Amino acid sequence: MNGVINVCKEPGVTSFYVVAQIRKIFKVKKAGHTGTLDPMAEGVLPVCLGHATKFAEFLTAEDKQYIAQFRLGIACDTFDTTGAVLRKSDLHPDESSVRAVLESFIGEPELTVSAFSAKKIDGLRAYDLARKGKLQDAGTAPMKIFKIELLSYNYPVGIFVIDCGKGVYVRSVINCMGDKLGSFAAMSGLMRSRNGQFHIKNARKLADIKQIADSGRKSELVTPVQDVLNLPKAVIKDKIYNAVMHGISPKAADYQSLPDAYDSGMCLLLTREGKLVAFGDIQKESPVPVKLSRVFQ
């Protein structure tokens, strides 16, 4: 089985655990998520099955939306309330100040990253190094933030929604907000409400997924990868199918249709029935419009 499942990860479990359960339920060897959610976090966790795992990097790059809860008055080593409290403050910022500081992050700010984050340091996850006492400072990282809206605030707790790009650490936004306010702050809850086209309203918990799968309706849970990716698509003619499956790149006359206005980049090859059979690189003004990179048997 190949495609993407919109899983609603529940708090208290790891993203790795979710993938392991999906692999077990669907009886597949290849499965992987498109971006880690911390154990305390919940929400949308797209899981790729089969050859869809080859496209995980494209799904990871999709824009995301989070709903985050924060607590003012404390600073923690993990930037969230699961960590050790390092500093405290009795300062009570008003709502307008909190809103102004949050909105100041819109753009591409350089924010401090927690040593307990999933950021890679010399090929290793920062949190693994931090837990071993080998890392205290994970440095900073540029983060692309499109929108932040404060939804509610009643000191010391507030909630905001954030629309952002790949690689944004919401804990970093909250920690830096606390520093700017002078009151400190830590993340106390997080929900990923959207990852690309996958929304929380359509996400299913593991128990529901297992129930549907056990009833013989697994296909209802899986979205074909070609319906998820925002990539150009080409449709091959039936007569060239066997050649493509042997890794031969079709000539222009072997296509039923080709994408328009693309000079370069990746292209998906589909059959007339919509089955994904291969992908490759677009070659402009070439007798071979797409040079195959990978064929799916």
Q: What is the pLDDT of residues 23-43, one digit of tens each?
A: 999 999 999 998 889 899 999
User: What pLDDT is recorded for position 282?
Assistant: 92
Per-residue model confidence (pLDDT) at position 33: 93
What's residue 178's pLDDT?
97
Q: What's the pLDDT at 149?
A: 98
Tokens of 271: 């059959």
How high does pLDDT run on average in the chain?
Answer: 92
pLDDT at 122: 72
Q: How many CA atoms lie less than 13 Å away from 178 in the CB half-sphere? A: 29
Distance separating alpha carbons of residues 248 and 292, to the nearest angstrom: 7
Residue 262 confidence (pLDDT)? 66
Quick one: pLDDT at residue 140?
A: 86
Q: What is the pLDDT of residue 101?
A: 98
pLDDT of residue 89: 97
Instruction: Give the residue numbers marked as catalytic.
Output: 38
- pTM, rounded to two decimals: 0.88
Q: Which of 115, 123, 104, 163 is nearest to 141 (CA)?
A: 115
What CA–CA distance (Å, rounded) separates 123 from 44?
A: 26
Alpha carbon distances (Å) from 181 to 37, 101, 274: 27, 7, 53
- What are the structural domains of the chain? 3-62+198-226 (3.30.2350.10), 64-192 (3.30.2350.10), 231-295 (2.30.130.10)
Q: Which pLDDT value is given to residue 1?
A: 82
Q: Which parts of the chain sit beneath pLDDT 50?
A: none
